[in-house]
Amino acid sequence: MAKKTLKPLAVAFAAGGVFDVVGGFLFLFMIGTGRGIDQPPAHPFYTVFIGTLLWSFAYLQFLTAFNMKRYSANVGPIVFGRIFYAVVLFAYVIFSKDFPTTFLFTGFTDTVFCILFITLGLWGGLRIRDIFLPNRSPA
């Protein structure tokens, strides 16, 4: 039996970090009223807030990618955050009249990352508990 590895999960997690770094730059410098992308309009404070939040996610993903086994519980919060974002985005696109579809690409991308993270984690030998709950060390 071949030894299971978390390297594919680490690569996917690092790729998610790169995606979030790019998103952070877009929110900081391109998105918002009076900037390159202004549909839906956003107050500059919120674009800065979201940009820095995305950079925090990216930082967490990059550090976790270097030691997936030890920090595997970090995968869970990132998955929950991405799922929550995608569900809210899709709900607004479907149910809010005239809501622009500008960010649908990110909703689909975040959904794919969630599926990848969970699938590659399980394939690499992690259990669902390892992904969503911290590993308790003996006291």
CA 138 – CA 122 distance, rounded (Å): 24
Q: What's residue 34's pLDDT?
A: 72
Residue type (1 letter), 56: S
The structure's pTM equals 0.86
Q: Which residues of the chain carry a pLDDT beneath 50?
A: 138-139
Model pLDDT, residue 15:
97
Give pLDDT, residue 72.
81
> Cβ neighbours of residue 118 under 8 Å, at least 6 residues apart?
75, 79, 131
Who contacts 18 (Cβ-Cβ below 8 Å, separation ≥6)? 58
Residue 135: per-residue pLDDT: 67
Tell me the Cα Rg of the chain.
17
